[in-house]
Chain A
């Protein structure tokens, strides 16, 4: 876990705990800090505590223990409306009885801003999300994507330095979602605002974020930039949760520097990179990404371990081939190969040999 506690942190959680019923902790000992201008995503399955963290930051939930600071000030006792944090809700929460322009004007009105200044800012915010012509419409007259843009504009119109987004794209279809991901990222970068973004969609998290905090069971499992998260997961939960992953179980035989030798439950012996195994005899889960598995022996180093595999299923997916194999007793071992002219198309029942570089194969906790 990256402990980047520093004095210049813009938002910081310090030893924050949260319990709703007094019996179980939903958030366990959360420490997190992010500098100004960062786009941080809280990623995790439902019930992992990520939304609770966001609500505590927004002020709708109070921390049972610990302190949250915003720009150096503790905000535990500041009511939500004085925190000055913009927020985009899962279902947009656009006020149905107001027009789009009135919705955007609302945060400015409660800040007692003059009429001409309000109109100016509303217009600028609408233009920013390319919805300039829709000011007079009611939210119900807009499509989901348009409502999303308005919700974004409303959260930004009063120029908050911190914007929270609670699964804002969850209700959109895939294509629109991908488009909005780039849009949000572009706007956040151009305004230089700090964003805390909650999602359970890992692709979204990887695409948009500067850093991703993976939540599970009330704890941050790993806090890292997307590429690190994907390529160097620190534990088996992160490895499983981010992207597709193959696991093989076994026992560590010996560790020599950067190489750990693992005897798999099927009897095969392979070399791995030890991540959180420390001594021989430990049980471990070995994790390999499907696209890092090599079927062409010539491309592997001569001393690489090779495993026998039986082809169970071959799926043609256009840009890639997806092949399910039976490896060391695991029938859900998947490999992905590029649809290149020289690529071999496998048939079910075929016996092949596979291998990989030791550094792509990570020995994690069991």
Chain B
């Protein structure tokens, strides 16, 4: 095809460089291959990779505080919690505005739930305050302004007033509250010119005017109000909040809000390892609140135990299968695969029937008089039950790779070893076993990774001491709705599996894993 004697790159028959011509020839092949896997690839990306990425992202995401209390967060940003017990006074109008809109949008309960993870009691605090914030005594301002001029009650006049830039500049808090108000009405599909003016807006108007802004050149109505404001009866917002719930005087509440104000937080991860983020920094939780460390250790311990018992039970079976004639081996293989034909739930429930104190095994032991009737064995709702049931359920995943690796080991190796003078045991241990290690490796990885994330079986037979970290994750997903913590726990679990995989690769070598 090409002239090998010439200098420079090899050329194809038509003069193009051989490399390029080869690439062109292979491109079609590659495209075809890509097309073949494309449906699955897209399916996996959409239904697997993307949700996982989204879920993992939730473990650090913390938008809710900054989104629900934007102005409060801004004020708190400058607050040095070591210098004063409570945030500066500017907090109250800001918080009033935020709470007003949060209540309108019904977001305050969600925020309360979120912050309740960090400080117990915040949830009810927000719910109570949400109810109270609409009934604050701030209608005093409304009454006083409308007494001055009836037109203050007319929403259309507010719309016109807020279109004037000079007015907006003079009344910044009113303008900002008005913008949030109109934006809110916009999402509701209401017209600001027709909705009643809320107490909040009059409160902001009062606070703006009380600051004595330059009002010359503004509308007459504002000039009149500015002149009257110093003699207005005032409402203490702080007192209103304390009236709603006196916990607002608790500096701890404000510190928690401040600590969790950033949009990204390590809080969930710290929670997942029994630590917490406090205004003073990161610290361990009190001893009696630490559960996840124990759960992680227990999950790993039980997964290792299950993997080991699968090896012990599966190795001889795989050996028999691999050394039987094909026909018999196939028949027995069906028996090994039989559990796959039964629902996981049914198998686990069957173990429940077998293991419980009034169950089959205990009944037989009592009948055989091996166990006293009053002294029945406790075999479930503990680690023993979970290990027994899960070993049974995961056993095929150990036997299958072991079997397919053992099948490739010719029996002549054992014969050769024996003819060289090795006893049965030496021949097995020195010659056969090392060659079956790839099967053990593949089976162990499969069983261990399946076990570490198992959920249904420990949920049913595990009780309280036999549950896995996955059960806790499920609890946070479906019951406590703390998805951030669930995501953090899941991320840690994933990291642990990847770490163990890496360690395995370093020690045994991933090339040493064969599925057949």
Q: Within A57-97, which residues are at the interface with B (CB < 8 Å)?
A: 58-60, 79-87, 89-91, 93, 95-97
B419 touches A85 (CB 8 A): yes
Please name all residues of chain A whose beta carbon is closer than 8 Å to the beta carbon of B423 when the two chains form the complex: 81, 110
Query: Is B281 in the interface zone, CB < 8 Å from A?
Result: no
Query: Is B413 in the interface zone, CB < 8 Å from A?
Result: yes
B417 touches A106 (CB 8 A): yes
B430 touches A86 (CB 8 A): no
B419 touches A95 (CB 8 A): no
A86 touches B419 (CB 8 A): yes
Please name all residues of chain B whose beta carbon is closer than 8 Å to the beta carbon of A164 when the two chains form the complex: 419
Proximity string of chain A (28-52) to chain B, C-beta cutoff 8 Å, 1 when within and 0 when not: 0000000000000000000000000
A106 touches B420 (CB 8 A): yes
B434 touches A80 (CB 8 A): no
Instruction: Name the distance in Å between A89's Cβ and chain B's nearest Cβ.
Output: 5
B431 touches A95 (CB 8 A): yes
Which residue of the partner chain, among B413, B415, B426, contacts A80 with CB atoms under 8 Å? B415
Q: Within A87-121, which residues are at the interface with B (CB < 8 Å)?
A: 87, 89-91, 93, 95-97, 106-107, 110-111
A158 touching B421 in the complex, CB below 8 Å, given contacts A95-B431, A96-B435: yes
A158 to B416 alpha-carbon distance, docked (Å):
13
User: What is the chain A residue whose CB lies nearest that of B420?
Assistant: A107
A81 to B412 alpha-carbon distance, docked (Å):
14
A93 touches B430 (CB 8 A): no
Which residue of the partner chain, among A60, A95, A158, contacts B413 with CB atoms under 8 Å? A95
Query: Is B110 in the interface zone, CB < 8 Å from A?
Result: no
Instruction: Name the distance in Å between A57's Cβ and chain B's nearest Cβ.
Output: 11
Please name all residues of chain B whose beta carbon is closer than 8 Å to the beta carbon of A96 when the two chains form the complex: 435
Which residue of the partner chain, among B415, B422, B424, B434, contacts A93 with CB atoms under 8 Å? B415
Q: Find the residue from A60, A82, A154 having the highest chain B CB count within 10 A.
A: A60
Which residue of the partner chain, among A87, A90, A97, contacts B419 with CB atoms under 8 Å? A87
Q: Within B283-334, which residues are at the interface with A (CB < 8 Å)?
A: none
Chain B count of residues within 8 A CB distance of the other chain: 19
Instruction: Name the distance in Å between B418's Cβ and chain A's nearest Cβ.
Output: 4
A58 touching B419 in the complex, CB below 8 Å, given contacts A96-B435, A97-B435: yes
Instruction: Name the distance in Å between A235's Cβ and chain B's nearest Cβ.
Output: 34
A79 to B417 alpha-carbon distance, docked (Å):
12
Please name all residues of chain A whose beta carbon is closer than 8 Å to the beta carbon of B415 when the two chains form the complex: 58, 60, 80, 87, 89, 93
Please name all residues of chain A whose beta carbon is closer than 8 Å to the beta carbon of B417 when the two chains form the complex: 95, 106
Please name all residues of chain A whose beta carbon is closer than 8 Å to the beta carbon of B410 when the two chains form the complex: 91, 93
A79 to B415 alpha-carbon distance, docked (Å):
11
Please name all residues of chain B whose beta carbon is closer than 8 Å to the beta carbon of A154 when the two chains form the complex: 420
Please name all residues of chain A whose beta carbon is closer than 8 Å to the beta carbon of B424 when the two chains form the complex: 79, 81
A107 touches B435 (CB 8 A): no
* Chain B contact residues, majority secondary structure: helix
A107 touches B434 (CB 8 A): no
A80 touching B412 in the complex, CB below 8 Å, given contacts A95-B431, A97-B435, A106-B430: no
Please name all residues of chain B whose beta carbon is closer than 8 Å to the beta carbon of A155 when the two chains form the complex: 419-420
Chain A count of residues within 8 A CB distance of the other chain: 27
Proximity string of chain B (394-421) to chain A, C-beta cutoff 8 Å, 1 when within and 0 when not: 0000000000000000101101111111
A81 touching B431 in the complex, CB below 8 Å, given contacts A91-B412, A110-B426: no
B412 touches A89 (CB 8 A): yes
A81 to B426 alpha-carbon distance, docked (Å):
10
User: What is the chain B residue whose CB lies nearest that of A95?
Assistant: B431
A111 touching B412 in the complex, CB below 8 Å, given contacts A95-B431, A97-B435, A106-B430: no
Proximity string of chain A (125-155) to chain B, C-beta cutoff 8 Å, 1 when within and 0 when not: 0000000000000000000000000000011
Proximity string of chain B (424-460) to chain A, C-beta cutoff 8 Å, 1 when within and 0 when not: 1011001100110000000000000000000000000
A158 touching B412 in the complex, CB below 8 Å, given contacts A95-B431, A97-B435: no
B419 touches A110 (CB 8 A): no
Which residue of the partner chain, among A93, A97, A111, contacts B421 with CB atoms under 8 Å? A111
Instruction: Name the distance in Å between B266's Cβ and chain A's nearest Cβ.
Output: 47
A164 to B418 alpha-carbon distance, docked (Å):
13
User: What is the chain A residue whose CB lies nearest that of B416?
Assistant: A93
Please name all residues of chain A whose beta carbon is closer than 8 Å to the beta carbon of B421 when the two chains form the complex: 81-82, 84, 107, 110-111, 158
Which residue of the partner chain, among B416, B422, B426, contacts A87 with CB atoms under 8 Å? B416
Instruction: Name the distance in Å between A317's Cβ and chain B's nearest Cβ.
Output: 39
Instruction: Name the distance in Å between A249's Cβ and chain B's nearest Cβ.
Output: 43
Please name all residues of chain A whose beta carbon is closer than 8 Å to the beta carbon of B412 when the two chains form the complex: 89-91, 93
B420 touches A158 (CB 8 A): yes
Q: Within A145-187, which residues are at the interface with B (CB < 8 Å)?
A: 154-155, 158, 164
B426 touches A93 (CB 8 A): no
Q: Find the residue from A95, A107, A111, A154 having the highest chain B CB count within 10 A.
A: A95
A82 to B421 alpha-carbon distance, docked (Å):
6
User: What is the chain B residue whose CB lies nearest that of A93?
Assistant: B416
Instruction: Name the distance in Å between B193's Cβ and chain A's nearest Cβ.
Output: 86
A155 to B424 alpha-carbon distance, docked (Å):
18
Please name all residues of chain A whose beta carbon is closer than 8 Å to the beta carbon of B419 when the two chains form the complex: 58-59, 80-81, 83, 85-87, 155, 164
A97 touches B422 (CB 8 A): no
A81 touching B416 in the complex, CB below 8 Å, given contacts A91-B410, A96-B435, A97-B435: no
A58 to B424 alpha-carbon distance, docked (Å):
15
User: What is the chain B residue whose CB lies nearest that of A107?
Assistant: B420
A14 to B415 alpha-carbon distance, docked (Å):
24
User: What is the chain A residue whose CB lies nearest that of B412?
Assistant: A93
Instruction: Name the distance in Å between B236's Cβ and chain A's nearest Cβ.
Output: 84
Please name all residues of chain B whose beta carbon is closer than 8 Å to the beta carbon of A158 when the two chains form the complex: 420-421
A77 to B324 alpha-carbon distance, docked (Å):
24
Instruction: Name the distance in Å between A85's Cβ and chain B's nearest Cβ.
Output: 6
A154 to B421 alpha-carbon distance, docked (Å):
12
Instruction: Name the distance in Å between B210's Cβ and chain A's nearest Cβ.
Output: 88
A155 to B417 alpha-carbon distance, docked (Å):
10
Please name all residues of chain A whose beta carbon is closer than 8 Å to the beta carbon of B420 when the two chains form the complex: 81, 86-87, 106-107, 110, 154-155, 158
A82 to B418 alpha-carbon distance, docked (Å):
9
Q: Find the residue from B416, B419, B434 having the highest chain A CB count within 10 A.
A: B419
Q: Can you name 13 extra interface pairs (CB under 8 A) apart from A80-B419, A110-B422?
A: A58-B419, A59-B419, A60-B418, A80-B418, A87-B419, A89-B416, A90-B412, A93-B413, A95-B416, A107-B420, A107-B422, A155-B420, A164-B419
* A-B CB proximity, top 3 nearest: A93-B416, A107-B420, A87-B419
- Chain B residues with CB under 8 Å of chain A are 410, 412-413, 415-424, 426-427, 430-431, 434-435
A–B complex contacts, Cβ < 8 Å, 25 sampled: A58-B419, A60-B415, A60-B418, A80-B415, A80-B418, A81-B419, A81-B420, A81-B421, A82-B421, A86-B420, A87-B416, A87-B420, A90-B412, A95-B431, A95-B435, A96-B435, A106-B417, A106-B420, A106-B431, A107-B420, A110-B420, A110-B422, A110-B426, A111-B421, A154-B420
